[in-house]
Amino acid sequence: MKIQVVENVQKVNDEVAAENRAELRARGVASVNLMGSPGCGKTAWLERTLEVLTAEMGVGVITGDLTTTRDAERIEDFTPHVVQINTGRGCHLEAHQVRQGLQRLDLDALDLLVIENVGNLICPVSWDLGQDRKVGMFSVTEGDDKPAKHPYVVLAADLILLNKIDLLPHVRFSRERFQEDVRAIRGDMDVLDVSATEGTGMDTWIDWLRTLAPATGTGQVVGAKTTD
């Protein structure tokens, strides 16, 4: 009986995620679900991204956090299109919460929506939100063994960002080992070294986002996946 309940919850989530996906497609908004540990630098990387990207396209952010509005307050300095979702004790965002977020955003003003998931490498992975792409973020301060220990985020992601690369000289971290472990899980996975504080990797990241969400304002989402 318990298993049945869990299955139903997941099924309802997938149905709502499909609605989110359909609505975002219909409104011409590409979407990215950004997942990573607490403190890996998701918000910092988004701040830096918005600094560049808002000059050429409409970018909205839905940010998930247990109890505070601090990330939304940070993002608000860069775009008015931001919604904070508080999950309470929930360790991940679910599609119905994103649905509520979408209802509070002016989708016609957006070309791209980035969803900053709750800081966690496990729970967010299995919950479809209706996004076009999933991005997994690690940082060098977490240690080079994290992809091996959290393979599911690597399996689910379309791109892996390795943040805080500026701190590489100061921490015990083997980029080779990190890369090898990622490739052992997903041979085709791209890993992009980035630094939110230095701006490293920003050009490549912005190009990746541009391909996903060309700033046409005409509702074209290029290469959007039809399924999650």
Ligand X SMILES: Nc1nc2c(ncn2[C@@H]2O[C@H](COP(=O)(O)OP(=O)(O)O)[C@@H](O)[C@H]2O)c(=O)[nH]1
Number of other CB atoms surrounding residue 206 within 10 Å: 15
In the complex, residue closest to Mg ion by CB: 43
Instruction: Considering the complex, state which of residue 39 and residue 80 has its C-beta at the smaller distance from ligand X.
Output: 39
Residue 68 has a CB neighbour count (10 Å cut-off) of 10
Least CB distance from residue 38 to Mg ion, whole Å? 8
Tell me if residue 221 falls in helix, strand or coil.
coil
Tokens 């499909």 label which residue? 18
Site residues for ligand X, window 139-178 (CB under 6 A)?
163-164, 166-167
State which of residues 28, 36, 124, 147 lies at the interface with ligand X (CB under 6 A).
36
13 binds Mg ion (CB under 5 A): no
* Among 71, 111, 181, 193, interactor with Mg ion by CB under 5 A: 71
User: What 3 state SS string does 120-135 have?
Assistant: CCCHHHHCCCCCCEEE
Buried residues in 150-162 as b, exposed as e (16+ CB within 10 A): bbebbebbbbbbb
In the numeric block, which tokens belong to residue 8?
Answer: 């139903």
Q: Which stretch binds Mg ion (CB under 5 A): 37-45, 128-136, 154-162, 165-173?
A: 37-45
CA-based nearest residue to 223, from 212, 207, 214, 208: 212
Nearest distance from residue 180's CB to Mg ion, in Å? Answer: 28
Residue with smaller CB distance to ligand X, 90 or 215: 90
Closest by CA position to 46, among listed 117, 140, 128: 117
> By CB under 6 A, is residue 50 in contact with ligand X?
no
Asked if residue 195 binds ligand X (CB under 6 A), the reply is yes
Q: 154 vs 196, which CB is nearer to Mg ion? A: 196
- The footprint of ligand X (CB under 6 A) covers 36, 38-44, 119, 163-164, 166-167, 195-197
- The footprint of Mg ion (CB under 5 A) covers 42-43, 71
